[in-house]
Structure 1
Amino acid sequence: MPPLALFTIMLGIFLGTLMVTSANHWLTAWLGLELNMISVIPIIAKQKHLRSTEAATKYFLTQATASALMLFSSTLNAWQTGSWDITQLNNELSSTLMIFALAMKMGAAPAHFWLPEVLQGSTLTTTLLITTWQKIAPITLLYMVSNHAQSNITFFIGLLSILVGGWGGINQTQLRKMLAYSSIAHLGWTITAISITPNIALLNIIIYMTMTTPLLMMLTTTSSKTLRTVTTTWSHSPTTTITLTLLLLSMAGLPPLTGFTPKLMILENLVTYKLTTLALIMAMLSLLSLIFYLRMTYLLTSVTPPTTTQSTMLWRLKPHHNKPTAMLTPIALFNITMLPALLT
C-alpha cells in the first residue's frame, strides 16, 4: 500500500475514534463511526484474495446496518424527548435499539455472526486492529449510555455472548477464529457489567485489549495461523512460547494472572447486587472458554514435533524478527503481572 494512502487511512481511523470519544451529539458520534468504518474497509480488502473481499463486504454490510439502527434509535429518542445529547437516552425503545446496535458494532451475540468470518479473511495485523482499536468507539458510547441501559437486556446479551464465545471457540483450529470467539466472550463479561458497574466493565475491556495486543503481535512475528503451526514454536523460540502461554492463561482468567482480576470484580459486584444466580451461570459458562485456552496452552508447551523435518517451515522466525520479539516480551510480562497493582 502506498505510504500516502496508508497515512490517510490511519488518520481516518484515528480521527473517527477521536470524534466518537469526544462527541456529545448523536450525529457527531455517528459521523465518527462512519469515518472509522470507511477507513478500515481498504485495510481488510488490501489483499488480492477472494476471502479478503468477502470479509470486507461482510464488515461493510454489518457495520452499515448497525449505523443505520443507531441513527434510527437516536432520531427516535430526539423525537420523543427533544434531545440529541448522548447521555440523555431516556426512551426505553431507543435505549434497547442502541444497545443492540452497539453490540452489533462490537460483534457481541446475537449479532456476532460477522466477526469470525471477517477476522478469518484478514491478516493478523488487521485482526489486532479490529479486536482492539475498533472497539474503543462503541465501548465509549456504551459507557456513556450505561445509566439508561436496561439491565435485563444487557444481561441477556452478555450471557449469550459468553455462551457463544465459549462454545464456538472449542471446535476451531484457526487461531483468528478462536480469537474472534474469545473477543465475543470477553465482550459478554463487559456488557453484563455495564449496567451495574460501568467502571469495572471499562476496566475489563481495557485489560482484554492490553493482553490481546502482545498476543497477536507475537503470533504475527511467528506467522502462526493454525494450531498445527503453533506446536513448532517451542523448538525455535522458547521465550515467545512461554510468554504466549502466560498470556493465554491470563486471558482464560486463571489466578493470579491479570485476566482474573476483572472477572473476580464483576462476580463480586453481581453477588453484592443480589445476582448470585447470574454470577454462578457466568462462572460456569466461562469454563467453555477455558477449554480451548488450555488446549492451545497444551499444544504450545507439551507437544514437540520431530526435529528432523524434511520441509522448510516458511512460518518460522527470520533473523530480523528477533528484535520485535525481544521488545514484546517485557510488554507482555507487564500485562501478565499487573494483578497486585490492580488489587491495591
Structure 2
Amino acid sequence: MINFPFVSLFSFILVLGSVISFSSSHWMGVWFGLELNLMGFVPLMIYSGKSHEVESGLKYFLIQALGSGMILFGGLFLFHCLGNWEIIGDGVMMEHGVMMFGLLLKMGVAPFHFWLPSVMAGLSWMANMILVTWQKVVPLFLLYSFFSFSMVELIFFCLFSSVIGGVGGMNQTSIRALLAYSSIVHLSWLLASSQINLVVCGVYFVVYFVISIMIFFLLWSKEVGLGQQIGGVFMWDLSQRQIFCLVMLSLGGVPPFLGFIGKWVVLVSLLSLGYYLLAFILIFGSLLSFYYYLVLSFSMVMGFMSWKDMMIEKKSMLVVLVVFFNLFGGGVMFWLLSLMAY
C-alpha cells in the first residue's frame, strides 16, 4: 500500500532540488540542488525495503555522489582561479572538463553508462520512470546552457551511446535491461540536440518523456516483477500486448507515430547545420535498437494468436485509442513545428 505523505514529501524534495539547480546563479547552488534532488530520490528508490531495491539505491547513490563530487571539485577549482562561484560559459579548461564528465556520469551517457542497467534491474517501475525521465532534466539543461562540445567530443559520446545502447539491448531477456539500453540510445539523441538549440532538445525530450510514461505505467499496471523476464508480457491478453507493441514502435521512432517526430526534428536540424556524420551515427544507433523493438513487437502480437482472433478482440478500443494518441500527437507536433518555421 502506498504511503502518500511519504511519497509526496520526498517527491517535493526531489522537485525542489531540481528547481534550485535550474535557478541558481553559481555552481555551489547547482551542486546543492543536485544533492537535494538525490536525497529526495533515494528514499523513493528503496521505498519497499526489498534487498534488490536497496542494492540499486546504494549503487545509484555512490555514482551520483561521484558525479556531484566532480562538479563540486570543478566549482572549487573555478573559485581558486577566478575568485568567484559565478556560472560562466567559457571557464578554465580543466574545470569545465571535470564538471562536464560529472554531468555525463550522472546521466549515464556512454562510456559512463556502466551503472545504469544494473541500477534499473533492481528498481520498481515508478522509480525507473523517474530515473530515465526527470533525473535527466537538470544535467541536460546544464550541458545545454554552459558547456560547448567540440565536434570530436560530440561524435565520440554519441557514437558510444548509440552503438552500446543498440548492441547491448540485443538478446536481452529482461525488460528492465532492454529499457535501460534503449535509454542510452535516446541519450545520444538528447546530447546531440542539446548542442543545437533549446527548442529541438525540448521537443525530443517531451516526446521521449510522454512515451516513457506510457510504457512504464503499462508495465506497472500489469505488475511485471523483477523475476519475470520478457516472456512474462506474452501472458497478457491480446489488447494489452497490442498497446505495448504500438508504444514500443513509437519509442523506436516508427512513422507516423509520435516518436518519429522527435527524431525527425533532430535530424532536420543536424542536416541543416551540415552535421552529416553525426546524423548518420544517430540513425545507425537507432537501427540497431530498432532490431530488438521489432523482434519484441512482432513476437508479442503475432506469436500467440491468429490474425482472425486479433480482429475480433473485444478490447480493441484500447488499441485504437493508443494509435489515435500517437498519430494525433505526431500530427499536432508536426503542425506546431511548421508554424514555428514560418
Deviations 1:101-125 (A, max 9, x none): 1111111111111111111111111
Query: Hey, what does 2:330 align to over in structure 1?
Result: 339
* Match in the other structure for 1:234: 237
Shift of 1:128: 1.0
Q: How does 1:304-315 map to 2 (within 5 A)?
A: 304=304
Q: In 1, are the aligned partners of 2:203 and 2:262 still within 8 Å (CA)?
A: yes
Once structures 1 and 2 are overlaid, which stretch shifts more, 59-68 or 32-41?
A: 32-41
Alpha-carbon distance, 1:218 to partner: 0.8
Q: What one-letter code is carried by the residue in structure 1 that aligns with 2:205?
A: I
- Deviation for aligned residue 1:89: 4.2
By how many angstroms is 1:177 displaced? 1.2
5+ long unaligned stretches in structure 1: 307-321
Aligned residues: 322
Whole-angstrom CA distance in 2 between matches of 1:17 and 1:336: 32
Alignment of 1:84-233 (within 5 A): 84-146=85-147, 148-225=148-225, 226-233=229-236
Say which is worse superposed, 110-119 or 256-265, in terms of deviation: 256-265
Q: 1:170/1:337 Cα in 2 relative to 1: closer, same or farther (>3 Å)?
A: farther
CA contact (8 A) 2:71 2:99 kept: yes
Rate the CA distance shift 1:69–1:329 in 2: closer, same or farther, 3 A: farther
Judge conservation of contact 2:165–2:285 (CA < 8 Å) in 1.
no
Q: In the TM superposition, what whole-angstrom CA distance separates every residue of 1:13-66 from its partner, at most 9, and x where no partner exists? A: 121111122222211111111011112112222333332221111001100000
1:75 is matched with which residue? 76
Quote the offset at 1:267 in angstroms.
2.2
Question: What is the rounded CA distance, in whole Å, between the counterparts of 1:329 and 1:126 in structure 2?
Answer: 29
Q: Measure the CA separation in 2 of the matches of 1:218 and 1:119.
A: 17
Q: Is the 8 A contact 2:162 2:284 kept in 1?
A: no
Whether the 8 Å CA contact 1:214–1:331 is kept in 2: the answer is no
Equivalent position amino acid for 2:80 in 1? W
**1:77–1:89 Cα contact (<8 Å) kept:** no
* Counterparts of residues 263-302 of structure 1 (less than 5 Å): 263-302=263-302
Runs of at least 5 residues in structure 2 that lack an aligned partner in the other structure:
307-314
CA 1:68–1:332: 2 relative to 1, 3 Å: farther
What residue in structure 2 maps to residue 254 of structure 1? Answer: 254
Query: Normalization by structure 2: what TM-score?
Result: 0.86
How many angstroms apart in 1 are the aligned matches of 2:56 and 2:327?
A: 32
Which residue of structure 2 lines up, in the alignment, with residue 44 of structure 1? 45
For residues 135 and 156 of structure 1, do their structure 2 counterparts lie closer, same or farther at Cα, with a shift above 3 Å needed? same
Structure 1: how far apart are the matches of 2:302 and 2:87? 51
Alpha-carbon contact 1:250-1:336 (below 8 Å) kept: no
- Whole-Å separation in 1 of the counterparts to 2:142 and 2:321: 32
1:91 Cα deviation after fit: 2.6
Offset, 1:255: 1.2
For 1:266 and 1:243, the matched residues in 2 are separated by: 26
Identity, % of aligned pairs?
Answer: 29
Cα distance in 1, alignment partners of residues 34 and 126 from structure 2: 21
* CA RMSD between the two structures: 2.5
Query: Does 265-274 or 245-254 show the bigger shift?
Result: 265-274
Judging changes above 3 Å, is the alpha-carbon distance between structure 1 residues 182 and 281 closer, same or farther for their aligned structure 2 residues?
Answer: same
Distance 1:331 1:25 in 2: 44
Matched letter for residue 218 of structure 1: L
Alignment partners' CA distance in 2, 1:165 and 1:85: 36
Asked if the contact 2:185–2:285 (Cα under 8 Å) also holds between the matched residues in 1, the reply is no
- Looking at structure 2, the residues matched to 6 and 284 of structure 1 have their Cα atoms a distance apart, in angstroms, of 40
Report deviation, 1:186: 0.3
